[in-house]
Amino acid sequence: MRFASSLPALLAGGDVDCDIDPIALAHYMSFHAIVPPPRTILKGVRKLPPATLLEIDAEGRETETVYWSVQFGPHEDERAYRQNDWEDKLIEVLRQSVQRRLVADVPVGVLLSGGLDSSLVVGLLAEAGQSGLATFSIGFETVGNERGDEFQYSDLIARHFATDHHQLFIDSTRALPALGRCVAAMSEPMVSHDAIGFYLLSEKVSQHVKVVQSGQGADEIFAGYHWYPPMMESRDGVADYMRVFCDRDHHEMQKILGPDYRGDDHAKSFIEGHFAKSGADRPIDKALRIDTEIMLVDDPVKRVDNMTMAWGLEARVPFLDHALVELAARIPAELKVRDGGKYILKEAARKIIPHEVIDRPKGYFPVPALKYIEGPYHDLVRDILNAPQARARGLFDRAKVDELLAHPADHITPLRGSKLWQVALLEYWLQQQGL
Residues at the binding site for ATP are 111, 138, 214-215
333 residue type, one letter: A
CA–CA distance, 404 with 388 (Å, rounded to integer): 19
Residue whose C-alpha is closest to residue 187's, from 419, 4, 25: 4
Is 167 within 8 Å of 139 (Cβ atoms)?
yes
Which residue, 17, 16, 36, is CA-closest to 26? 36
Annotated binding site: 111, 138, 214-215
State whether residue 175 is helix, strand or coil: helix
Strand-pairing partners, residue 151, are none
Residue 135's DSSP bridge partners are 110, 165
Q: What are phi and psi of 377, to 5 degrees?
A: -65, -40
In order of 77, 116, 180, 336, the CA distances from 346 in angstroms are 24, 7, 38, 9
Residue 372 burial (10 A CB sphere; 0-12, 13-18, 19+): middle
Q: Are strands 52-56 and 62-66 parallel, antiparallel or unpaired?
A: antiparallel
DSSP letter (8 states) at residue 5: S
Angle at 84 between CA 82 and CA 86, to 5 degrees: 75
For residues 152, 158, 160 and 162, what is the CA-based torsion angle, rounded to 10 degrees?
-150
Instruction: Please answer whether residues 134 and 163 qualify as being in contact, where contact means their C-beta atoms are separated by less than 8 angstroms.
Output: yes
Amino acid (1-letter code) at residue 14? G
Closest CA to 396 of 256, 263, 260: 256
Helix (H) or strand (E) holding 165: strand 164-170
Concatenating the DSSP letter of every residue in 37-86 gives TTB-SBTT-B-PPTTEEEEE-TT--EEEEE------S--GGGTT--HHHH
What's the distance, Cα to Cα, between the start and end of the chain in Å?
Answer: 21
Cα separation, 199 vs 400, in Å, equals 31
- Using alpha carbons, select from 150, 134, 154, 132 the residue that is nearest to residue 142: 150
